[in-house]
């Protein structure tokens, strides 16, 4: 038990950022294993077609990079990936395998774990090892609580929340790159990738505005949205929203801020009636200032806000707008 296996994630010819989170987390665990039992190493796995440049990049962060070139894995297919990865895990018996808690990992990890009779901890924000026992910390109850869990047995998989690890630094000496024959028998007939579709294009690009005023579930009814829209206008900013507002079809997907929508980096991000789920707040990390208005003092949005007002948006927002207009007109 010395190897930490990390699965690289790529899409449309680019290595995805989550891969660095996984390498950082993997390195921490490999270092711990080395400290605790004198042996620990980090191995990255990249599956796909024409992935040589990814392997080069990965080799700066790992002791070893395993490359499986296979046309059936050019685009992500959880079944093809499952077959290839199950083969590698059975052969190498790593101490733990780390996968991103992404649309990709969510599709792959549960069935992979089940086929290997492995313990799987999903959406982990911490993974630790002590005396051979792996534990993980993961959110529960919408991020309002956390649970620490022990991964039973000796086959273990964890999916890692994106942005939960510091960026790794490249090594002085690169790891070796090892090419492995594809263990796949052929194409997966029962699940076929057809194409990608972009759902977030729209009449407006919210990522281009210096001031973004976003509305969330707290608005209650679509007819109340103009209250927040007027505030955005008064500030010369653009109206955006969180996921529940798009789910209910109150605003188009083009205005959604979040992992599945847009990532924004404005000077001011003003969140109105938004609780601040992880998927939302991780897309506003680049904002210079975050201000939150919410009636729930325990709302997670206040953990990331520079300034907060705890109160009813239906009184706070009109009052704020009035004062802004007054200040702008020089009283």
Partner 1 sequence: MNIVVCVKRVPDLAEAEIVVDRSEKGIETEDLVFDINEWDNYAVEEAVLLKESIGGTVTAISLGEEDSEEVLRRGLAVGADNAILLNDRAFDGGDAFATAKALAAAIERNPFDLILTGAQAADDGYAQVGATLAEMLGIPHATLVTGLEIDGNVARVHRELEAGLEEILDVRLPAVLTIQTGINEPRYVSIAGIRRVARREIEVLGAKDLGLSGDEVGAAGSRLEMQRLFVPPATQKGEILEGSVDVTTEKLVSIFASKGWLA
Binding to partner 1, residues 87-106 (CB under 8 A): 101-104, 106
Q: Do residues 283 and 262 lie in contact, with contact meaning Cβ atoms separated by under 8 Å?
A: yes
| Contact between 149 and partner 1 per CB under 8 A | yes
Burial of 151 (0-12, 13-18, 19+ CB in 10 A): buried
H or E segment and range at residue 315: helix 313-328
Please report, as residue ranges, which positions from 46 to 75 form the binding site for partner 1 (by CB under 8 A): 75
Closest CA to 137 of 153, 125, 145: 125
| Contact between 212 and partner 1 per CB under 8 A | no
Q: Which residue reads 């990532």 in tokens?
A: 263
| Contact between 306 and partner 1 per CB under 8 A | yes
**11 backbone dihedrals φ, ψ, rounded to 5°:** -155, 135
> Nearer Cβ to partner 1, position 44 or 155?
155
| Contact between 11 and partner 1 per CB under 8 A | yes
| Contact between 128 and partner 1 per CB under 8 A | no
| Contact between 114 and partner 1 per CB under 8 A | yes
| Contact between 145 and partner 1 per CB under 8 A | yes
CB of 241 to partner 1, least distance (A): 12
Options 22-30, 88-96, 164-172, 309-317: segment touching partner 1 (CB under 8 A):
309-317
- Exactly one of 79, 129, 206, 214 binds partner 1 (CB under 8 A); that residue is 79
- Exactly one of 30, 44, 67, 235 binds partner 1 (CB under 8 A); that residue is 235
> Nearer Cβ to partner 1, position 65 or 228?
228
Which residues neighbour 103 within 8 Å (Cβ) at sequence distance 6 or greater? none
| Contact between 201 and partner 1 per CB under 8 A | yes
| Contact between 328 and partner 1 per CB under 8 A | yes
**5 backbone dihedrals φ, ψ, rounded to 5°:** -105, 135
Rounded CA separation 160/21 (Å): 8
| Contact between 195 and partner 1 per CB under 8 A | yes
| Contact between 180 and partner 1 per CB under 8 A | no
Query: What sign results for the dihedral spanned by CA atoms 167, 142, 224, 319?
Result: negative
- Exactly one of 127, 160, 232, 290 binds partner 1 (CB under 8 A); that residue is 290
Here the tokens at position 284 are 């506003």
Rounded CA separation 137/122 (Å): 9
Q: Do residues 13 and 3 lie in contact, with contact meaning Cβ atoms separated by under 8 Å?
A: no
Please report, as residue ranges, which positions from 245 to 264 form the binding site for partner 1 (by CB under 8 A): 246-249, 253, 256, 259-263
> Nearer Cβ to partner 1, position 52 or 142?
142
């Amino acid at each position: 038990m010395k190897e930490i296996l990390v699965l690289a994630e790529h899409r449309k010819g680019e290595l995805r950022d989550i891969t660095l989170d996984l390498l950082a987390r993997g390195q921490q665990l490999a270092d711990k294993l080395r400290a605790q039992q004198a042996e620990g190493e980090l191995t990255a796995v990249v599956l796909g077609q024409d992935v040589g440049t990814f392997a080069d990049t990965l080799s700066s962060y790992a002791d070893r990079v395993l490359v499986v070139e296979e046309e059936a894995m050019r685009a992500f297919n959880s079944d093809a990936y499952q077959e290839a990865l199950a083969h590698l895990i059975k052969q190498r018996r790593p101490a733990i395998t780390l996968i991103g808690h992404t649309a990709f990992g969510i599709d792959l990890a549960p069935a992979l774990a089940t086929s290997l009779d492995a313990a799987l901890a999903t959406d982990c924000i911490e993974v630790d090892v002590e005396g051979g026992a792996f534990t993980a910390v993961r959110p529960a109850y919408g991020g309002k609580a956390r649970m620490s869990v022990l991964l039973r047995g000796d086959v273990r998989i964890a999916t890692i929340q994106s942005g939960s690890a510091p960026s790794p630094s490249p090594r002085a000496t690169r790891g070796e790159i090892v090419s492995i024959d594809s263990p796949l028998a052929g194409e997966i007939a029962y699940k076929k990738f057809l194409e990608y579709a972009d759902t977030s294009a729209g009449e407006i690009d919210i990522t281009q505005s210096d001031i973004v005023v976003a509305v969330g579930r707290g608005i209650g009814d679509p007819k109340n949205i103009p209250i927040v829209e007027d505030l955005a206008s008064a500030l010369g900013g653009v109206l955006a929203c969180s996921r529940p507002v798009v789910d209910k079809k109150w605003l188009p997907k083009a205005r959604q801020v979040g992992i599945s929508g847009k990532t924004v980096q404005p000077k001011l991000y003003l969140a109105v009636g938004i609780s601040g789920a992880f998927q939302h707040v991780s897309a506003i990390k680049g904002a210079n200032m975050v201000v939150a208005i919410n009636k729930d003092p325990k709302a997670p949005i206040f953990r990331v806000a520079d300034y907060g007002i705890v109160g009813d948006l239906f009184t706070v927002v009109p009052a704020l707008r009035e004062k802004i207009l007054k200040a702008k007109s020089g009283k």
